[in-house]
Structure 1
Amino acid sequence: MQQALLHLIGLAVLFLNKVRYGLRGYREPRPFAPTDLERAIAYDRKVVDQWLKALHDYTGEVVQGKVVLELGPGADLGPALFLLDRGARRYLTVDANRLIDETPRAFYDELLNGLDHKEELAGELEKTLAGKDDRIRYIVDPSFDLTSLPPEVDLVVSQAAFEHFSNVEKTIDQLSHVVKSGAVLIAEVDTMTHTGVLRDRDPLNIYRYSNFLYRLARFSGIPNRLRPAHYASLLEQNGWHKVEIVPLQTLSTEEVERVRAHLAKPFREDANMHILTFLLRATKR
Structure 2
Amino acid sequence: METYIPSNFRPRSVKGIEESVDYALVVGKNYISQLGIIPGGLKGRTVLEMGPGSDFGPALLLASAGAKVSIIDRFVAEWQDDYHRPLYTELRKRWPGDPGPFDAVLAAGGYHPVITVYDCAIEDMTEDQKFDVIISNAVLEHMRDIKQAVANMARITNPSGWGFHQIDFRDHRDFSRPLEYLLYTDEEFKEKCDEVFAEFGQTYRVSELENIFLQSGFEIEYGQANMFADEEYMAEFLPRLRASSSRYRDWPVDDLRKISAFYRLRTSPRI
Give the TM-score range, shorter chain: 0.7 to 0.9
How far apart, in 2, do the equivalents of 1:128 and 1:187 lie?
30
Instruction: Give the equivalent residue in structure 2 for 1:36.
Output: 16
Instruction: Give the structure 2 partner of residue 194 of structure 1.
Output: 172
Q: What is the Cα deviation at residue 143 of structure 1?
A: 7.5
Structure 1 counterpart of 2:158: 180
- Following TM superposition, by how much is the alpha carbon of 1:183 offset from its aligned partner in structure 2, in angstroms? 1.0
Correspondence 1:210 to 2:188: no
1:241 aligns with 219
Letter of the structure 2 residue corresponding to residue 207 of structure 1 = L
Superposition TM-score, scaled by structure 2 size: 0.83
Question: Which segment drifts farther, 181-190 or 206-215?
Answer: 206-215
Q: Partners in 1 of 2:152 and 2:109 — Cα distance?
A: 24
Q: What residue identity is the alignment partner of 1:177?
A: R
Task: Tell me the CA shift for residue 125 of structure 1.
Answer: 5.7
Q: Residue 47 of structure 2 corresponds to which residue in structure 1?
A: 68
Spell out structure 1 runs of 4+ moving beyond 4 A: 32-35, 58-61, 124-128
8 Å Cα contact 2:73-2:122 kept in structure 1: no
* 1:134-145 matches, cutoff 5 A: 134-141=113-120, 144-145=123-124
Preserved contact between residue 128 and residue 137 of structure 1 (Cα < 8 Å): no
Q: For residues 44 and 190 of structure 1, do their structure 2 counterparts lie closer, same or farther at Cα, with a shift above 3 Å needed?
A: same
- What residue ranges of structure 1 are gaps of 5+ in the alignment? 1-18
Deviation at 1:257, TM superposition (A): 3.6
2:25 counterpart SS class? helix
How far did 1:236 drift?
A: 1.1
CA gap 1:54/1:256 in 2 versus in 1, 3 angstroms: farther
> What's the TM-score, normalizing by structure 1?
0.79
For 2:191 and 2:234, how far apart are their aligned partners in 1? 26
1:40 to 1:282, Cα distance in 2 relative to 1, 3 A? same
* Distance change (3 Å), C-alpha of 1:232 and 1:42: same
1:267 to 244, 248, 255: 248
Alpha-carbon distance between aligned partners in 1 of 2:223 and 2:121, rounded to the nearest angstrom: 29
Deviation at residue 244 of structure 1 after TM alignment:
3.2
Question: Which digits, 9 at most, give the CA deviation of each residue in 1:92-151, with x for residues without a partner?
Answer: 111011224354321111112234322453215655826xx3331012126752221512
User: Which of 73, 79, 93 does residue 95 from structure 1 map onto?
Assistant: 73
Q: Describe the SS at the equivalent of 1:199.
A: coil
Asked whether the 8 Å contact 1:74–1:100 carries over to 2, the reply is: no
Asked if structure 2 preserves the Cα contact closer than 8 Å seen for 1:146 and 1:175, the reply is no
SS of residue matched to 1:141: coil
- Counterpart secondary structure, 1:273: helix
**RMSD (CA atoms):** 2.7
Task: Say if 1:148 and 1:184 are closer, same or farther in 2 by CA, change over 3 A.
Answer: same
Q: Distance in 1 between matches of 2:156 and 2:121?
A: 19
**Cα displacement string for residues 176-221 of structure 1 (whole angstroms, at most 9, x for unaligned residues):** 12111111111111111112xx322x12111121112112223213
Asked if residue 276 in structure 1 is aligned to residue 259 in structure 2, the reply is yes
User: Hey, what's the Cα distance between the residues in 2 that align with 1:42 and 1:105?
Assistant: 16
Tell me how far apart the structure 2 counterparts of residues 145 and 206 of structure 1 sit (CA, whole Å).
26
CA contact (8 A) 2:85 2:109 kept: no
2:224 and 2:9 map into 1 onto residues whose CA distance is: 23
Is contact 1:75–1:99 with CA below 8 Å preserved after alignment? Answer: yes
Q: Note the alpha carbon deviations across 1:34-85, whole angstroms, 9 max, x for none.
A: 74111111111111222233344x6677433321101111111101111111
Task: Rate the CA distance shift 1:189–1:276 in 2: closer, same or farther, 3 A.
Answer: same
Q: Does the 8 A contact of 2:219 with 2:266 survive in 1?
A: yes
> Whole-Å Cα distance in 2 between the matches of residues 165 and 82 of structure 1?
25
